[in-house]
Amino acid sequence: MAGLTSEGEPVVITTLFTSPLEPTEQKAEEPGLNGWVEGETYFTDGEPQRESTKVLLADLPQIAPESFIPEQTTAIASTSFSLAWAEGAGTAFDVYRDGELIGTSSDGTYADSGLEPETEYTYQVKSAEGDAIIEHTYSVETLPTDASATMRSSKDPLAVLAVPPSAGWFLYDTFITDQYVPLTTLMQASGCVGQIGQKYGGNNRVYTTPSLWDHPWQYRGVKTGAMAKVDFVNGSPYTMQDKLVAPTYLYNQNGSLAETRTASANGIKFLDQAASSTLYQFRVSHTVGNPFCTSGAIRYEANVNIWKSGVMQLNGYRHPVPHHESYGLFTFSNGSNAWIQMYRGANQSFDCLSGLCATQLLSKTYTPS
């Protein structure tokens, strides 16, 4: 919506309406609890377990527009940016501009002035209480000084960007930063196969944003991956869901390979899917265990909204093991594309595979310019 400030300055006001996302407690039992079955729950051919499923949006339950609720509002002028968010009352949020802390708000609103016209800024609003982090990110371009003559239309998520994205992608990966993870007496006591001195293979990497030119799983080693693509503008709008579980390698003390097992991808599920002409929402429910161990699993629940306008929302929780990272592939108003970080969480301890460690919150909204 276009309008004027109290000083008569042109301003673009946007309200983001959302379909509610609620973290869902996972009830799945540990994959190895009843024993691993070769050829059914794990495989020994050394190949990744990967599945792809295509679903037409018209075949999913449809989201009623009246279920949308206002979550946040932004106002962009040539020299200022203001925002308000729904979780604000009584909670202190830090506000960052281009990575620099510029203020704190406890009433769910913030206004920043003294900006340069026709300039791109990135704002982050974060609430951090222990491991519970709520984050909203805004990619903002201030209006030109002659905005009254070139006023842009509303950029509500129910509208379309100047250059509409042909599709949206959501990616969630887990990986192990170490090259090897030594087999410990605690792992043995938890039912892991192997002898002291042996070790499991890791991914030997750090957080890595995917390349635009390669498939996200081609050169970035992962333990597990879940990816969803939604195409709103195809003649028959659809979603494509991909699941990946990489092999687990058991090495001898001298570094030679002792055995390879790959857990089934059945522990990665796309649930609670629904759609409208402008929104695709789903939940990734993830419980994937080490096929050498009878107990323990990598667990997370990720609730996702992908809007036709390019806005993406993530919330849910994870058990803090191993490293987790999530990205969205966004199309911006100038037609460019970029993978943007939605979440990164470090490995707290491999003991957390037991499920006894406190869960950590996933919560982020990203609004491209």
Average pLDDT over all residues of the chain: 83
Q: What is the dihedral of CA 21, 22, 25, 28, to 10 degrees?
A: -20
Task: Supply the pLDDT for residue 216.
Answer: 94
The average pLDDT across 167-186 equals 93
Q: What integer pLDDT is reported at residue 160 of this predicted model?
A: 37
pLDDT at 147 over 90: no
**Alpha-carbon span 350 to 341, nearest angstrom:** 24
pLDDT digits (tens, 9 = 90+) for 290-299: 999 988 899 9
pLDDT at residue 161 above 50? no
Assigned CATH topology for domain 2-15+66-149: Immunoglobulin-like (2.60.40)
* C-beta pairs of 249-258 under 8 Å, 24+ apart in sequence: 249/200, 249/201, 250/193, 250/194, 250/198, 250/199, 250/200, 250/201, 250/292, 251/180, 251/198, 251/199, 251/200, 251/201, 252/197, 252/198, 253/197, 253/198, 253/199, 258/194, 258/198
* Whether pLDDT at 131 is above 60: no
All structural domains of the chain with their residue ranges: 2-15+66-149, 22-64+162-367
> If you average pLDDT over residues 179-191, what whole number do you get?
88
Question: What pTM was computed for the model?
Answer: 0.79
User: Residues 17, 70: contact at Cβ < 8 Å?
Assistant: yes
pLDDT of residue 354: 81
